[in-house]
A = this chain, B = another copy of it.
Amino acid sequence: MPDWTALKECGLFDALSESGREQFLPPGIFYWSGRAKKEADINATIGSAWGPAGEIGQQGASTTFYLPSLHTGFAGISPEQVFSYAPILGVASFRQTWREWILEKCRPSGRELADLISTPAVASGITGGIASVAGLFVTPGESITLPDRYWGNYNNVLVRNIGARITTYPFYDGKDFNVAAMKTAVDESLASQGKAVVLLNFPNNPTGFTPTAATAQQIAQALEQSAVESGKWVIAMCDDAYEGFTYTRDCLQHSIFAEIAGKRGVLAVKLDGISKEFLWYGGRVGCITFAVPETMVPRKDLVTGELEEKLSAVIRSSISNCNHPVQEIVADGIRDKLGALLAERARVIDVLAKRWEVYNREMEKADLAVLKPLASNSGFFALVDLVSAKAEEVAEILMTTHRVGVVPIAASGRQSLRIAFCSVPQENIPKMVDAVFAAAAEASRR
């Protein structure tokens, strides 16, 4: 935490609120991505898909990957779609279109979700959705149950903003997700408070892991069992930011929300949006969708209607409402040219899949006495654990000696590197992995 010397000198520090005095942004990702922009030749710190424009069929140099058919949506949009306010919970046509999109995405699960789910409410990005939903369910001091590998910004959103405690369980059981550990953690949470709030994130940031369909079903069953046995609600938040970015056929291809929706005693909450799914990071449109237990289908509209009324209050009292033109452009896109959008996205997914393959092939050569690559099959990132070196030291060597930027993570007693292969062109990946080997080995010898 900074010293706040200037604020203290002039007395403004004392004028801050209790919360204002505590606010700070852990440098982490921003420190390393800032340095990488200046110092690195290979930048694996950034959570955006990026690379040669030719790889997505466009002219020019390297670019943030995007969907050209969304870009054309800017040309034809009418003033009323651009300038007027969107309703607090979002533009009606966007919400309806996104609901259809969710049903479409979940269709391969074979589950019939139409009667279970609410109409998505719009939030300011998935981060906004997570903050809003967590705030509705978690009183400061109460616990949210997470695996021990999680997105660092959860600490800001859940702990610093909402005041939650994060209780973790081991993410992996070998090369699979640790369902038993999750179940134990949920049961402990239910033993100590009136409900459990669980946050699942597949494809995962930072591990790039998604469980198999069978494991996903076990997760859903475990949550149901915990809810039924305790007689308490389990709130299952599904952070689906990276939905659709899977690189093997044996991991779950759809959101785990489809498996959890409808389970007894479980309120499933789908948090998805356009940032990664439609490669529109700067659009800031996320969605919040509830699924009630199957037993509650007749009362679904009443229950989710009341939850939406509470969400309205949260949104109105923090940001009033969300961006209008982006909702219109995305709704038009999904309605009129979903085929084109998905074809354009498939091209991006193919590029990332190849990078992921090369990354994994190269990582097979790792000296396991120095570093351990973790199982991955999806998403934008991969994670390696360092056996005996400090993550920051390895990141420093990578930056200064090899001009490679990665994000070091020291959490849950482990030292790891998060490697954003999403932003590293394929041809650079072998060189990058070699550099990781060399830097980790060097730091381990110290």
Contacts and interface: CB of A to CB of B under 8 A. Distances in A.
A309 B233 CA distance: 38
Contacts of A2: 306, 309
Contact of A15 (B58, B233, B326): B233
Contact of A156 (B9, B17, B127, B316): B316
Nearest to A314: B23
Interface string A18-51: 1110011100001000000000000000001000
Nearest to A265: B11
Given A79-B63, A312-B25, A319-B127, A10 B282 contact: no
A369 interface: no
Given A318-B157, A323-B283, A6 B299 contact: yes
Interface string A71-99: 10011010110111110100000000000
Contact of A310 (B24, B153, B232): B24
Given A127-B320, A282-B325, A284-B321, A6 B156 contact: no
A5 to B, nearest CB: 7
Contact of A142 (B17, B23, B68, B139): B17
A399 B157 CA distance: 44
Interface centre among A9, A23, A80, A280 (most CB of B within 10 A): A23
A64 interface: yes
A20 B156 contact: no
A142 to B, nearest CB: 7
Interface string A138-149: 110010000000
Given A48-B85, A284-B322, A324-B282, A153 B316 contact: yes
A317 interface: yes
Interface residues of A, number: 90
B74 A23 contact: no
A71 B82 CA distance: 8
**Chain A interface main SS type:** helix
Interface centre among A30, A77, A136, A232 (most CB of B within 10 A): A136
A131 B20 CA distance: 12
A101 interface: no
B326 A323 contact: yes
A437 interface: no
A6 B310 CA distance: 13
B317 A135 contact: no
Given A6-B302, A319-B124, A326-B323, A63 B80 contact: yes
A7 B10 CA distance: 49
Interface in A320-347: 320-326
B282 A85 contact: yes
Given A19-B139, A71-B79, A86-B282, A128 B14 contact: no
Contacts of A284: 124, 284, 319-324
A161 interface: yes
A88 to B, nearest CB: 8
A74 B314 CA distance: 31
A25 B325 contact: no
A12 B304 CA distance: 11
Contacts of A64: 79-80, 83-84
A281 interface: yes
14 contacts: A7-B303, A16-B136, A17-B137, A18-B139, A23-B136, A23-B314, A71-B82, A74-B82, A83-B281, A128-B320, A157-B317, A284-B319, A284-B320, A284-B324
**Those 9 A-B pairs whose CB atoms lie nearest each other, nearest first:** A282-B324, A156-B317, A6-B302, A20-B136, A15-B195, A161-B317, A127-B320, A66-B83, A15-B233
Given A24-B309, A319-B319, 8 more contacts: A4-B306, A5-B302, A5-B306, A15-B195, A16-B137, A58-B79, A128-B320, A156-B313
